[in-house]
Amino acid sequence: MIELININKSFDDKQVLFDINAQFLSGKNNLIIGASGGGKSVMMKCMVGLLHPESGQIEFDKRDMLSLDEQQLREVRREIGMLFQGTALFDSLTIEQNIEFPLRMFSKMTMAERRDRVNFCLQRVNLENINNKYPSEISGGMKKRVGIARAIALDIKYLFCDEPNSGLDPITSRLIDALIDEITKEYGITNIVNSHDMKTVFDIGDHILFMYKGAVRWEGSRQDLSHAQKEIKELDEFIQASYFH
């Protein structure tokens, strides 16, 4: 479980996160939704350590990321996988080398074991025979799946997905959603997804957090969403706008 306690973050004089308190549950798809500029990406970057909040605590299973030393922080980070919005695959490496990268850096596996693990991860995301291709030679949907394969190459506990469906057609989006859901449930991962896509929310969202202007406006389950929509004007506007998006 990941817990955020009183997180505040500013850029120069502009505060972008206001006293964020939230819990992200293990084995669940925790979705962060909200309009662009609402603070979703900043919050995710704070959680994975790419940004540092001014105050608060970020606890990964009771380990406060903000008070760990550099070595301890690296240990925790090795339990984190992240699927970036632009996939962030290393473009000078082949698909196989991309997935092998975290194994090569952090595991003591032999070359044959690493290759087996790469092939297993590729099969897990329903990709085969692309080991020797470069990221520029495959489609956007395949890149996302390779990104997921790289994220799960090590035995991770936490998966962060930043806009996993951006730039994908609706059918591929659903495939990616289903894959993320399967992997989360199968490995009991704490999965956190930033998304604008209400279809994703209704399909796989177990725990939903709605952000509005840098603050958590609503938090609850998918089943509670329609009830909350009637009571919270900003959430209703966001969901209504999504239908016409």
Partner 1 sequence: MNLSFFYHFGRYLIFLRSMLYRPEKMNVFFQRLFDEMTKIGIGSLAIVAITSLFIGAVTTVQTAYQLVSGLISKTVIGTIVSDSTMLELGPTITCLVLSGKVGAHISSEIGNMRISEQIDALEVMGINAPGYLALPKILAGIIMIPILNIIAITLSIYGGYVAGELSGILTHEQFVVGAQSTFKGFTLFFSMIKAFTFAFIITSVSSYQGYFTKGGALEVGESSTKAVVYSSVLILFFDYLLAELLL
In the complex, which residues of this chain contact partner 1 (CB under 8 A)? 48-50, 73-78, 80, 82, 84-86, 88-91, 101-102, 104-106, 160
Q: How far is the CB of 73 from partner 1 (least distance, A)?
A: 7
Residue whose CB is less far from partner 1, 35 or 93: 93
The answer to whether the beta carbons of residues 35 and 47 sit under 8 Å apart is no
The answer to whether the beta carbons of residues 24 and 59 sit under 8 Å apart is no
Residue whose CB is less far from partner 1, 18 or 106: 106
Q: How far apart are CA 101 and CA 117, in angstroms?
A: 11
Q: How far is the CB of 202 from partner 1 (least distance, A)?
A: 28
- Cα torsion through 102, 95, 130, 81, rounded to 10: 50
Burial class of 171 by CB neighbour count within 10 A (0 to 12, 13 to 18, 19+): exposed
Q: How far is the CB of 240 from partner 1 (least distance, A)?
A: 31
- For 99, phi then psi, to 5°, come to -75, -35
Residue whose CB is less far from partner 1, 62 or 108: 108
Residue whose CB is less far from partner 1, 75 or 224: 75
Q: How far is the CB of 80 from partner 1 (least distance, A)?
A: 6
Q: How far is the CB of 102 from partner 1 (least distance, A)?
A: 6
Residue whose CB is less far from partner 1, 77 or 174: 77
Please name the residues in contact with 96: beta carbons below 8 A apart, sequence gap of 6 or more: 115, 118, 131, 132
Residue whose CB is less far from partner 1, 138 or 232: 138
Q: How far is the CB of 62 from partner 1 (least distance, A)?
A: 19
Distance from the Cα of residue 42 to its chain's centroid? 13
Q: How far is the CB of 9 from partner 1 (least distance, A)?
A: 17
Q: In sequence order, which ranges of the chain are alpha helices (DSSP H)? A: 40-48, 70-77, 95-106, 111-124, 140-151, 170-187, 198-204, 222-231, 233-243
Residue whose CB is less far from partner 1, 115 or 199: 115
Q: How far apart are CA 159 and CA 189, in angstroms?
A: 7
